[in-house]
Amino acid sequence: MNLEKIAGFITPLLLVALMGLIMIAYGFVKPSQENNVLQFIFGIPVLLGAIGLHYIVRRASNGNVLRIWIVEAIIVGFMVLVFLRS
């Protein structure tokens, strides 16, 4: 497995999708916690939205790994900026 395949598989939006999956799993693991249902409910749109947006970016860039990383890094950076300003 070469570096381009690894970089094509691990992208910024897929890392965001992993965070959504962790939110869902944390909602299941800690049932005694007060807001575990909220973590489960908010984890689903994060997971599905990031995977869907990753699919759109991958299709639009024709699988070019460098373009995928540049566009996804800009999108994730913008999402972090909006989150920090809210």
What tens digit of pLDDT does each residue of 8-49 get?
Answer: 889 999 999 999 999 888 888 877 777 777 888 889 999 999
CB neighbours of 37 closer than 8 A, spacing ≥ 6? 27
- Which sign does the torsion angle of CA 18, 19, 22, 24 carry? negative
Q: Where in the sequence is the domain holding 29, given as residue range(s)?
A: 3-85
pTM: 0.86
The number of distinct structural domains making up the chain is 1
